[in-house]
Amino acid sequence: DSYSLRCAPQVHGMVWDELAQTKPILENEINATSDNPLLFADRKRVIHGGNFHAIYPARVCDRLAAALTTLATISERRVNTFMRTEKSGLPTFLIEKGGLNSGFMMVQVTAAALASECKSLCFPASVDSIPTNNDQEDHVSMGPGAGLKALTIAGHVRYVLAIELMVAAQALDMLAPLKTSAKLEKVKATIRKRVKFLKEDRVFTPDIEAVQEMVGSGILLSP
C-alpha cells in the first residue's frame, strides 16, 4: 500500500502530538500579562519589560501551520489513491459511468489546490523581523502573521479532510457488501445523512460544505 495509507498512524500521531504540545503554550500566553510598562501601584514603580513580545505564540502557530499542512498533504494523497483503479480496484474517479461523468476528479483537484496553498503559507513567520521605530523595535515576533497563517491553513485543512471523508464514503459504498469497522460504518452513516451516494455528476459545493461542518463540529469523532 501507498505510504499515505501504511504510515497514516505515524503521520496522524505526529499531528496529534503537535496539537497536544502547543495547546498549553497558547493557553499560558493567552492568560499571561503582556502589558508594557508594568505598573506596581503599591510600590509606586513603573517597570518596562518585554512581556509584549509574542515569540511564544508565534513559534507555536508556525508549528501548527506545518503540522496541519502535513495532515492536508497526506489526506490529499489518499483522495488520489481512492480514484486510481490500479490501486483501489474501483472505477476511475469513483463513478460507474466514466466518460459521461467526471465523478470526483475535480474534487481531488480542489483538495490538491488547498494542500498546495497550505504549503505556500508554511514559511515560518517567526524567523522574520524588520526593525522599526528607529531600530528601537529591532526584533519582533511577527506573531499576528503567524497566527493568521495558522488559522487560514486550519480552515483549508477542514475542507481537505471533508473531501477525503466524502470520497471514502463513496469508495466504501462501492465495495458493498463488504464493510469496514463498526465505528467507521457509523461515520459513513453520519455522512450519508447529508451527502448522498454519487450516481451521476452534480454540484459538490453543498456536499463539501456539509461535511466540513461535521469536521469542525467534531460530530464525526463520536457518531
Binning pLDDT at 50, 70 and 90, where does residue 223 land?
low
What DSSP state is assigned to residue 39? E
| Model confidence pLDDT, tens digit, residues 16-55 | 999 999 999 999 999 998 888 989 999 999 999 888 999 9
Which of 202, 200, 203, 207 has the alpha carbon at shortest distance from 96?
A: 200
Rg (CA), the chain: 23
Which of 111, 112, 104 has the alpha carbon at shortest distance from 199?
A: 104
The neighbouring-strand residues paired with 132 are 137
Residue 49, CA distances (Å) to 33, 38, 60, 134 in order: 11, 7, 22, 19
Residue 97, pLDDT > 90, answer no
> pTM for the complete prediction?
0.90
Q: Which three cell numbers stand for residue 66?
A: 506545518
pLDDT at position 69: 97
| Model confidence pLDDT, tens digit, residues 164-196 | 999 999 999 999 999 999 999 999 999 999 999
> How far apart are alpha carbons 204 and 120 in whole angstroms?
25
> How far apart are alpha carbons 186 and 220 in whole angstroms?
9
| Model confidence pLDDT, tens digit, residues 103-152 | 999 999 999 999 999 999 999 999 988 888 888 888 999 999 999 999 99
